[in-house]
Amino acid sequence: PDFLRPTHYAQVDAIPLTVNGKADTKALPEARPLGALTTAGERGPETETETTVCEFFAEALDLDDDEVSAVSDFTALGGHSMLAVRLTGLLRREYGPVITIRDLFTLRTPEAIARHIDEES
């Protein structure tokens, strides 16, 4: 099942070891969401609302702005229920109560969320 598959990866040439020969997890690079590595070049935001939603995705998911495209999937980028609460808060602060946590998991992309916000506003 999808929920058992890792969503964050880090590529390394070799596993760093401690002086005792065990894996040195503190020396490993930070893992990034797999979706962040593949979706950013797909399509940039085309509207002001899409731009803002993409920026909020990046902020909530702790990604660089160029790692989020208008068609990036929230869950593919590492989104989960706690981050959905954070993202919903950012969106509501900007646009009011036009988006719910359920909407994030239904709409999933900045493009669809921005369209929903524009239709509801």
Q: Please give the tally of structural domains in the chain.
A: 1
> What is the structure's pLDDT at 77?
87
> What is the structure's pLDDT at 90?
97
**C-alpha–C-alpha distance, residues 21 and 106, integer Å:** 46
The CA–CA distances, whole Å, from 5 to 2, 8, 48, 76, 116 equal 5, 9, 34, 11, 30
Low-confidence ranges of the chain (pLDDT < 50): 37-40
Q: Are 39 and 80 in contact (CB under 8 A)?
A: no
> What is the structure's pLDDT at 35?
57
Q: Are 48 and 76 in contact (CB under 8 A)?
A: no
The tokens of 42 are what?
Answer: 């797909």
> What is the structure's pLDDT at 61?
93
Tokens 């950012």, residue? 90
State the residue range of the domain holding 91: 2-120
Looking up residue 62, the CATH number of its domain turns out to be 1.10.1200.10
> What is the structure's pLDDT at 34?
62
62 Rama class: left (phi>0) / alpha (psi -120 to 50) / beta? left
> What is the structure's pLDDT at 40?
47
- pTM, two decimals, is 0.70
**C-alpha–C-alpha distance, residues 51 and 11, integer Å:** 30
The CA–CA distances, whole Å, from 90 to 11, 52, 69, 75 equal 32, 10, 18, 17
